[in-house]
Amino acid sequence: MTTGAEQAGGATAEQTLDPVTLEVLKNSFVTIVDQMAEQILRTCHSFVIYSRDFSSALCDPQGNTIMQGSQDIAVHVGTLHLTAQAVAEAFEGEMRPGDVYMINDPYVGGTHFNDVRIVRPIFHEGEVICLAESNGHWADMGGSVPGSFDVSARDHFGEGVRVPPVRIYDEGEYRADIVRMVTSNTRAPADAEGDCLAQVEATAVAEREILRLCDKYGHATVVAAFKEVQDYVERLTRKRVADLPDGTWETEDYIDFDPDEPEGLVPIKVKMTIDGEVVRYDLSGSHPAVGTFLNSGYGASFSGVVAGTKTFFPDVPLNSGFYRALDVDLGPKGSCVNAAWPTAVTGFCSGPYEKIMNAIFELWSEVMPERAMAASFNLEYLLVGGTDTRNEGESIFMWYDWMAGGWGGRNGKDGSNATSPVFGVGLAVQPLEGQERLCPVVTTNHEILPDTGGPGKHRGGCGVEKGGTLTEMTKSVMSYCCDRARSVTWGIEGGLPSYPHGVWLNRGTDSEQFLGAVFSNVPVKTGDSFIRPSAGGGGFGDPLERDPEIVRDDVADGYVSLERAAKDYGVVVREIDVELSQYEVDTQATEAERERIRSARHGWLAEDPESVAERYRADELDLLDVLRRHGVILDWGTGELLERTTEQFRAMLERRSSRHWAAAGA
């Protein structure tokens, strides 16, 4: 499917408002969507919403976005206009003042079932002048697992309640029957209804403010501004793009595997062309939909393209004008980036979405080297749900946890340690003290994991490790929505990969089990423990060019271990006084070590993978040696070689890393 630039009339549209009125109204629209956001934050029930997984928009009657919240989560960007359009089409000619609608359908441009959107038409002088839309991630939408994240779901029926556009207020009359039909299918109906009301009220806030503007500036002026604000953003974006050199760039990123096929990375291809004042994207050639829920509908994939691009235009406001400067071809229906009903899509966020964004980061890194960034860690959600038996009664609990991780190394700057995922930079890590009150899970550690930052001249930010023990519970299961246990977060310009994802159950005990980076409904019980890392960011530039003094500093702070300082950076650091955190660089030894690595490292990457796997199983090589030195991907639990995956991974490393290394003796 194609969306974006070709549908638009270009930026030649006539401007009727004077610059002052337009600027004032534009800023007022920003204030309005931000007021909606504040209302939601203050009244919501879902902790997912409270952690800022929500968004707000004003759309015109055709659904085009006029303005989106300035602090909105990235993953909703570029999707709100699609659901507004779906509502506008469903109720064409039937909208009345006081109506409010609900929709969550990912097959008409939504993201996943948990993202419930509330849409209110705003009337003035007898006609709909705009739509206010509030989108919030409800904590549960039914389906087969708590939190509605069933990795193994093959289709939408196992995932959750699908809500096509429905009317939940009829001329001001609350239709509790309809709302409860939805909420009764969730695990926390009262909270779901509370969130629904909070979102309805947020749209009422927008209505009040829009009507105020109509009274002040007049109907015609406000309606003209709805259009001209979009034209303005389109003009601004096209101008910026026109100033860039034309060209075509291509890359691919990978989902770990498709269970319906033999092992092997699943490619997502992105081709970008800058053509005058338009940016064209072509995602055709991406793999067919996979047999897990790591697929994405067209709305979510379009969002990934928009959010990836927007990162290189941080100050451009977001509305449909921005989308019109992009021409996005997602390729044929049925691929993992253009999945059709009833393919399961809830895990799009950990699957195609992150890959599209990071691929686009890589492409733009070539166009704008001053804003270049290697890959950042992949969004991950761990869920433990079941029955809490701590206090006499039995109640359902959902321990639903996501972590911060490392961002990619940058041109001239290390990546950020422990930061929210690029999927939603506002998605806040939850306080474990709050979680421990609500759920029978005790967190045993929540700390930066040394050596997880991908080595580079500017290293990736460090990831985090979090472990927990299950206390008093019954009938409980664990599910994980993540990726990149195999398609490990990569570096660019010679930088190295970071660290594989994956959950360990009862690590270090007889019942130790590596569960991998996607699984669902694994039974767990009181006394079990689990631990998982979040990856760091990929490195930027050749790690052998990193300033040894900075490596020493990293060692002193424990971001990099003494051992890996030598192995990854060739920097030999000596302890002076550990108690005082004093270290020094052995300059001569460092030079020698760096020279040794330079001459050996291409060879390491060509070593027979099976013998590398054997040495791993024999404890002669550790995980980071296997991954970073040899570019070999294993099942990290059993040590079994993944042959096809390794082949693809090594080809990727050649392209992003080893090709950029200076030769030995240089």
Does 119 engage in binding with another protein (CB under 8 A)?
Answer: no
Least Cβ distance, residue 221 to another protein (angstroms): 14
At how many degrees (to 10) do helices 298-310 and 352-367 cross?
30
> Which of the ranges 127-135, 155-163, 419-427, 480-488 carries the binding residues for another protein, by CB under 8 A?
419-427
Q: According to CB under 8 A, which residues from 38 to 67 bind another protein? A: 38-39, 41-45, 47, 50, 52
Least Cβ distance, residue 36 to another protein (angstroms): 10
In the complex with another protein, which residue's Cβ is closer, 235 or 650? 235
DSSP 507-522: TTSTT-EEEESEEEEE
In the complex with another protein, which residue's Cβ is closer, 218 or 262? 218
At how many degrees (to 10) do helices 219-242 and 189-217 cross?
100
Q: Which of 110, 560, 539, 532 is nearest to 297 (CA)?
A: 110
Phi-psi region of 567 (alpha: psi -120 to 50; beta: other; left: phi over 0): alpha
> Which of the ranges 107-115, 333-341, 344-352, 551-559 carries the binding residues for another protein, by CB under 8 A?
551-559
Residues 6+ apart with CB under 8 A from 661: 494, 542, 544, 598, 601, 602
Instruction: Please pick, from the candidates 164, 285, 342, 558, the single residue that binds another protein as defined by CB under 8 A.
Output: 558
In the complex with another protein, which residue's Cβ is closer, 315 or 392? 315
In the complex with another protein, which residue's Cβ is closer, 130 or 236? 236
Does 190 engage in binding with another protein (CB under 8 A)?
Answer: yes
In the complex with another protein, which residue's Cβ is closer, 23 or 394? 23
Q: Dig out the tokens for 339 from the structure.
A: 């999945």
**Beta strand pairing call for 100-103 and 166-170:** antiparallel
> Which of the ranges 144-152, 264-272, 291-299, 424-432 carries the binding residues for another protein, by CB under 8 A?
424-432
Does 396 engage in binding with another protein (CB under 8 A)?
Answer: no
Instruction: Please pick, from the candidates 8, 87, 145, 204, the single residue that binds another protein as defined by CB under 8 A.
Output: 204
How many residues line the site for another protein (CB under 8 A)?
89
Q: According to CB under 8 A, which residues from 78 to 117 bind another protein? A: none
Instruction: Please pick, from the candidates 33, 74, 345, 492, the single residue that binds another protein as defined by CB under 8 A.
Output: 74
> Which of the ranges 151-159, 428-436, 591-599, 642-650 carries the binding residues for another protein, by CB under 8 A?
428-436
> Which of the ranges 276-284, 290-298, 427-435, 644-652 carries the binding residues for another protein, by CB under 8 A?
427-435
Least Cβ distance, residue 370 to another protein (angstroms): 8
The CA dihedral of 434, 435, 436, 442, to the nearest 10 degrees, is: -140
Strands ordered across the beta sheet of 395-402: 395-402, 381-388, 473-481, 518-524
Q: Which of 502, 315, 543, 310 is nearest to 409 (CA)?
A: 543
> Given CA atoms 433, 435, 436, 442 in this order, what sign does their dihedral have?
negative
**DSSP 3-state of 130:** strand
In the complex with another protein, which residue's Cβ is closer, 254 or 559? 559
Q: According to CB under 8 A, which residues from 3 to 42 bind another protein? A: 18-20, 22-24, 26-28, 30-31, 34-35, 38-39, 41-42
Q: 10 Å Cβ neighbour count for 12?
A: 7
Least Cβ distance, residue 539 to another protein (angstroms): 16
- Tell me the β-bridge partners of 503: 516
Q: According to CB under 8 A, which residues from 219 to 248 bind another protein? A: 232-233, 235-236, 239-240
Does 482 engage in binding with another protein (CB under 8 A)?
Answer: no
Does 393 engage in binding with another protein (CB under 8 A)?
Answer: no
Instruction: Please pick, from the candidates 262, 369, 431, 603, the single residue that binds another protein as defined by CB under 8 A.
Output: 431
Q: According to CB under 8 A, which residues from 316 to 375 bind another protein? A: 361, 371, 373
Does 447 engage in binding with another protein (CB under 8 A)?
Answer: yes
In the complex with another protein, which residue's Cβ is closer, 473 or 634? 473
In the complex with another protein, which residue's Cβ is closer, 9 or 93? 9
Q: Spell 218-229 as b/e; 16+ CB within 10 A means b.
A: eeebbbbbbbbb
Q: What is the DSSP letter of 455?
A: P
Least Cβ distance, residue 261 to another protein (angstroms): 34
In the complex with another protein, which residue's Cβ is closer, 404 or 633? 404
In the complex with another protein, which residue's Cβ is closer, 158 or 461? 461
Least Cβ distance, residue 358 to another protein (angstroms): 11
In the complex with another protein, which residue's Cβ is closer, 231 or 263? 231
> Which of the ranges 100-108, 146-154, 187-195, 291-299 carries the binding residues for another protein, by CB under 8 A?
187-195
In the complex with another protein, which residue's Cβ is closer, 85 or 443? 443
Does 194 engage in binding with another protein (CB under 8 A)?
Answer: yes
> Given CA atoms 325, 330, 333, 334 in this order, what sign does their dihedral have?
negative
> Which of the ranges 60-68, 176-184, 406-414, 472-480 carries the binding residues for another protein, by CB under 8 A?
406-414
Q: Dig out the tokens for 146 from the structure.
A: 């708590």
> Given CA atoms 313, 410, 284, 84 in this order, what sign does their dihedral have?
negative
In the block, residue with structure tokens 């090589």: 621
Q: Which of 600, 607, 613 is nearest to 642 (CA)?
A: 613
DSSP 261-312: SSS--EEEEEEEEEETTEEEEE-TTPPBPPSSS----HHHHHHHHHHHHHTT
Does 420 engage in binding with another protein (CB under 8 A)?
Answer: yes
Task: Determine contact, residues 566/572, Cβ cutoff 8 Å.
Answer: yes
Q: According to CB under 8 A, which residues from 298 to 317 bind another protein? A: 310-311, 313-315
Task: Determine contact, residues 355/337, Cβ cutoff 8 Å.
Answer: no
> Given CA atoms 654, 659, 661, 665 in this order, what sign does their dihedral have?
positive
